[in-house]
Amino acid sequence: MFEEQTITRFDGVDEFGNIRVKKVTRILKNGVQVGSDTYHRHVIAPGDDISNEEPHIQAMTRTVWTPENVAAHTAELLAQLVTERAAIQAEIAELNEAKAAREAAIVGFQQATAQAEILQAEEQEKYKQMLVKASDDRARELRIQTDEAIVKMAAEEVRRKEAFQQAAIVRQRDLEQQAAQEAAAQVRFQEMVRQEVARQAGTK
């Protein structure tokens, strides 16, 4: 008959009150060990839930976990949270700077497009004035040239508008990605705070 035997041992403690626990598992057949021992180690930090630990390990925590150790461990966790929060805020700041740069580029493109439209209108007006002053034959020739120029400018305008629309699509996608990243960053921070609050509540 096979039987599993587990022995839980105290394996040491560091200066911060972190307790190392070592579990040795043996397989017995009719009272005789089969195969080699298997080992599992884990660490219990001050303030951790110890309800699933062996009674002698729980007794050890009551001896080792002084108020000073618990306070030091809590301070270390809070310092980690502050550092991670600063990193998240820096990431958000970079995203905001990138957003501002994209928006400035789009504004510049819109201004350039507006200026091009003004120049196009001025050129069309010049062609019209030339048609009025020209002779019939010359007028026909100029009209042909004007029509070609207008068609060319219209095609160019279509290309500019298509480029602007593409830039607007890219900007919208970038803003959506930024919003998702900001939301994910906020969720990570809120989750860390929730875990810390839950941890602190569990130590009381």
Residues 29 and 85 in one domain: no
Domain with 57, as residue range(s), is: 2-65
Domain count, the chain: 2
- Decide if pLDDT at 76 tops 80: no
Residues 144 and 193 in one domain: yes
Residues 131 and 61 in one domain: no
**C-alpha gyration radius of the chain:** 37
pLDDT value of position 20: 93
25-29, 35-39, 101-105: lowest mean pLDDT where? 101-105
pLDDT band for position 80 (cuts 50, 70, 90): confident
Most confident of the following: 31-35, 49-53, 130-134: 49-53
Q: Say how far apart CA 160 and CA 71 lie, in whole Å.
A: 64
Please name the amino acid found at residue 11. Answer: D
Percent of the chain surpassing pLDDT 70? 94
Residues 56 and 86 in one domain: no
Residues 99 and 179 in one domain: yes
Is the pLDDT higher at 77 or at 59? 59
pTM over 0.85: no
The answer for residues whose C-beta is within 8 angstroms of residue 69's C-beta and 6 or more apart is 16, 17, 46
- Decide if pLDDT at 191 tops 80: yes
Q: Can you read off the two tokens belonging to residue 144?
A: 């042909």
Give the model confidence (pLDDT) of 164-187 as tens digits: 888 888 888 888 888 888 888 888
Chain Cα centroid distance, residue 82: 17
Give the model confidence (pLDDT) of 85-105 as tens digits: 888 888 888 888 888 888 888
